[in-house]
Amino acid sequence: MYDIKALYEASDVADAVRLRIEHPAAHIIAGGSDVLVQIREGKRAGVELISIYGIDEMRGVSIDGNGAIRIGSLTSFSHITKDPIIQKHINVLGEAVDTIGGPQIRNIGTIGGNTCNGVTSADSASTLWAWDAIVELTGKNGPRQIPISEFYISAGKVDIKEDEIQTAIIIPKASYEGHFGHYTKYAMRNAMDIATTGCSVNVKLSADKKTIEDARIAYGVAGPIPMRCANAEAFAKGKPATMETCKAFGEKILEDINPRDSWRASKAFRCHIGQVMAERGLEKSIRLAGGNI
């Protein structure tokens, strides 16, 4: 059933890096919610695995001395949703990962696995893009940090060197302070389904709550990798926090997104729901930020 050549268990981050160097053909396994399914289907027959699941230092959510939120890559979706730091500062991320699979998947699946897959439909990805997340990778030369927009290279491919593992996701203080957001997932079913399109919006309002000081929006399944909408974001900044702005914002995203036709949905349909998601997401974000709209 599971054709596995060898399983190596890392005791800590340094040990995982050592195993990566000694076994360059081996695949990393964390929760296993994707890898084990692929092995059972025969897609990775005879694979060597490096398990990082026992590395507790890669679990949990904390705030560092600069106010940045650090999410260990082995933190499960369930823990992210329930974590008080996430609930206080970026509750939308907890809402996004709470749409993944069912309870069993959310208990075992990790945010590191969700992002390292490199798929555009990952429910955490669009929210992390919309909050300017930074990915921490650790290898033989120590840790390096890159923006999540540079981490994703192409569909299913991410920037992880042969000796590296992903150790954390970091949200800088400037990216979340004063910002409020909303995530929308459209799928054919309410549970246990891959997103047809996912959209994450967040805003920062002026002190009087009448003007949009900052707006960010990112999509999954609107292109080969998750993407931000630069034209729509630039349009919204400085605009009044009104329904008229929300409607125009939704129209503006059509200049940015480029979804594909697939058996799940046509390009035209994804553009349509993407526009509606942007409009409603901005409206809900403004309300969460205290705007009267």
- Are residues 147 and 73 both part of a single domain? yes
pLDDT digits (tens, 9 = 90+) for 269-282: 989 999 999 999 99
- Are residues 14 and 30 both part of a single domain? yes
| Domain hosting residue 103, numbered range | 56-174
pLDDT digits (tens, 9 = 90+) for 203-251: 999 999 999 999 999 999 888 899 999 999 999 999 999 999 999 999 9
User: Domain for residue 233, yes or no?
Assistant: yes
Section 173-177 average pLDDT: 98
pLDDT digits (tens, 9 = 90+) for 108-134: 999 999 999 998 889 999 999 999 999
pLDDT digits (tens, 9 = 90+) for 5-20: 999 999 999 999 999 9
- Are residues 161 and 197 both part of a single domain? no
User: Domain for residue 293, yes or no?
Assistant: no
Section 60-69 average pLDDT: 97
Number of domains in the chain: 3
Contact 181, 127 (CB under 8 A): yes
pLDDT digits (tens, 9 = 90+) for 136-148: 999 999 999 999 9
User: Does 259 have pLDDT greater than 90?
Assistant: no
- Are residues 155 and 225 both part of a single domain? no
User: Does 54 have pLDDT greater than 70?
Assistant: yes
Least confident among 25-34, 40-49, 192-201, 267-276: 192-201
Label residue 62 by pLDDT band (50, 70, 90). very high
- Are residues 41 and 69 both part of a single domain? no
Q: HEC string of 65-117?
A: CCCCEEEECCCEHHHHHHCHHHHHHCHHHHHHHCCCCCHHHHHHCEHHHHHHC
- Are residues 46 and 95 both part of a single domain? no
- Are residues 38 and 148 both part of a single domain? no
Mean pLDDT of the chain: 94
pLDDT of residue 222: 83
pLDDT of residue 192: 65
- Are residues 91 and 123 both part of a single domain? yes
The model's pTM is: 0.93
pLDDT of residue 190: 65
Section 178-191 average pLDDT: 87
- Are residues 183 and 273 both part of a single domain? yes
List the beta strands (DSSP E) in the chain. 4-9, 27-29, 47-51, 61-63, 69-72, 134-139, 142-147, 152-154, 157-158, 165-171, 180-186, 197-205, 212-220, 227-228
Contact 261, 267 (CB under 8 A): yes
**Which of 174, 193, 212 is the endpoint of a domain?**
174
pLDDT of residue 8: 98
Q: Is 113 exposed, middle or buried (0-12, 13-18, 19+ CB in 10 A)?
A: buried
**Which of 119, 150, 174 is the endpoint of a domain?**
174
